Amino acid sequence: MTKPVKNNLFGLSGSLKDQLAQKMLEKRLKKVTEAKMQSGDVLRTRKSLQSNSKIPDEFCRFDMFPGYQQIKILEAGGEQLGVPSPFFKSHEGVATDTTVIAGKEYINFASYNYLDLCGHPEVSKAAEDAIKKYGTSASASRPVAGERPIQRELEIELAKVYDVDDAIVFVSGHATNVTTIGYLFGPKDLILHDSLIHNSVVQGVQLSGATRLTFPHNDWQALDEILFQQRRNYERVLICVEGIYSMDGDYPDLKRFIEIKQRHKAFLMVDEAHSLGVMGERGHGLKEYAGVDGHEVDLWMGTLSKTLAGCGGYIAGETALIDHLKFSAPGFLYSVGISPPLAAASIAALNILNREPDRVSSLKARGNQFLELAKDKGLNVGSSAGLSVIPVITGSSAMAGRLANACFERGINVQPIFYPAVQEGMARLRFFICSSHTEEQIETTINVLVEEMHKLK
């Protein structure tokens, strides 16, 4: 699975070699990134070219796309540094606290199966029953071709979690953010989001044509200040935050954000991808944890692919919002309905979540154990709250890649995160905790991390 690597960069050893290679890598990446940003200008200056023979190769060859060249540079950098690619590993069964890759069992921290519900017999049985009854696909868009009762049932159950009027389910979590934000807002509007917000929100804002401003991570005072200065220049204003931040594992002070959005007459959207099933006694997310009323947030967004053991995304909120999206959001109207087995799986997962809050407390106990042990050993866990997501920040991408591979060699599967998912210099290993992790697995993992980091320094 791993490629052979060249391990002789200038005959240098250890971290000096890493630093040089890292610098070279950054330089080359910067060059293609700049080329990417300038490609629009190049097009404008050359738009007068009349003849086809004068169209430069970069405009008609896939291998000359700057994005592709970035990937190739990173691959080559990995080889020079002796770091085999950690991507696209093939799992041979359900990934829970453990997983099997190439015939070997690993302690697993690379899946969002937070409450161990993907693979739960009740969830699998619900999906099997739905296949028997409805087949595997909804085969067309729901407004056009009609509903399956389980699609609607899932929406009603999700609305209950947030104690709001209704919910709408889309076929992808990412597409939920893109189409909802992209459709509801426009060029006269302003969208403010946390600097660490997920890519799907950024894509949605870009599609909308609204002005996009960021505020520093979790800094509600900075947000307030921007709104004091900017609110009057726009029609609608949307503020986007996450329940638990997917790279850092911390969360916003929701009550502050609600107070600010009310004062400035803005809409507030909370992406609960990593907090549903995790925060609050019953796992009902940031809403439950912060003790707010469901209607105090305008758009509750979440995904079905994590705690809910399916695939898809949802928006929960007031009737006027949900009906509007159902009749007009392109990602709903012009896209197939959620497949029956996935809807059935997520309903079953939600039932178990509601019935078995012990799963939520187990996850929290293991997350807390991981966080405290890691801190004791001097690992950099950033601002993580020690719930579903805990990063161990290594700094350089080379170190993150090497450490992930060293952990893998010792039976631990964890994904490294590099630029551009996080800024360069903030590369990390990202640990997803699940309710079935044992105390022993966490202890073993922290010990391995400390030993391997020590060896790599």
Task: Give the residues lining the site for ligand PLP (CB under 6 A).
Answer: 172-174, 177, 198, 200, 242, 246, 271, 273-274, 303, 305, 313
Cis, bond preceding 340 (omega within 30 deg of 0): no
Q: How far is the CB of 157 from ligand PLP (least distance, A)?
A: 18
- Minimum CB separation of residue 407 from ligand PLP in Å reads 21
CB of 303 to ligand PLP, least distance (A): 3
Angle at which helices 439-456 and 358-376 pack, to 10 degrees? 30
User: Beta strands 299-303 and 313-317: pairing type?
Assistant: antiparallel
Q: DSSP string covering 100-119, please?
A: EETTEEEEE-S---TTS-TT
* 354 close to 197: Cβ distance less than 8 angstroms: no
The dihedral through the CA atoms of 333, 335, 340, 344 has a sign that is: negative
Residue number with CB closer to ligand PLP (199 or 221)? 199
In whole angstroms, what is the distance from residue 403 CA to residue 405 CA?
A: 5
Contact 290, 254 (CB under 8 A): yes
In terms of CB distance, is 313 or 386 closer to ligand PLP? 313
The residue (of 273 and 387) whose beta carbon lies closer to ligand PLP is: 273
By C-beta, is 240 or 258 nearer to ligand PLP?
A: 240
Q: Cα 294–299–300 angle (5° rounding)? A: 65
Q: What are phi and psi of 239, to 5 degrees?
A: -110, 130
Q: Please say which residue, 17 or 198, places its beta carbon nearer to ligand PLP.
A: 198
With the CA atoms of 227, 229, 232 and 234 taken in that order, what torsion angle do they form, in degrees rounded to the nearest 10? -70
Closest listed residue to residue 416, CA positions, set 435, 434, 395, 430: 430
Question: Minimal distance in Å, beta carbon 444 to ligand PLP?
Answer: 26
Query: Whose Cβ is closer to ligand PLP: residue 84's or residue 249's?
Result: 249
Closest distance of CB 246 from ligand PLP, Å: 4
Taking the complex as a whole, the smallest distance from the CB of residue 21 to ligand PLP amounts, in Å, to: 30
Please name the residue that has the structure tokens 């159902």: 326
Question: Closest CB to ligand PLP belongs to which residue?
Answer: 173
Give the separation between CA 85 and CA 79, rounded to whole angstroms: 8
CB 355 within 8 A of CB 199: no
Residue 431: both structure tokens together: 């640990």
Let me know: does 181 contact 207? Beta carbons within 8 Å: yes
The distance of closest approach from Cβ of residue 238 to ligand PLP in the complex, given in angstroms and rounded to an integer, is 15
Nearer to ligand PLP, 204 or 401 (CB): 204
Residue 385 C-beta: closest distance to ligand PLP, Å: 15
Residue number, 303 or 369, with CB nearest to ligand PLP: 303
Closer by beta carbon to ligand PLP, 31 or else 217 = 217
Any residues with CB less than 8 A from the CB of 196 and at least 6 apart, and which? 217, 242, 245, 247, 248
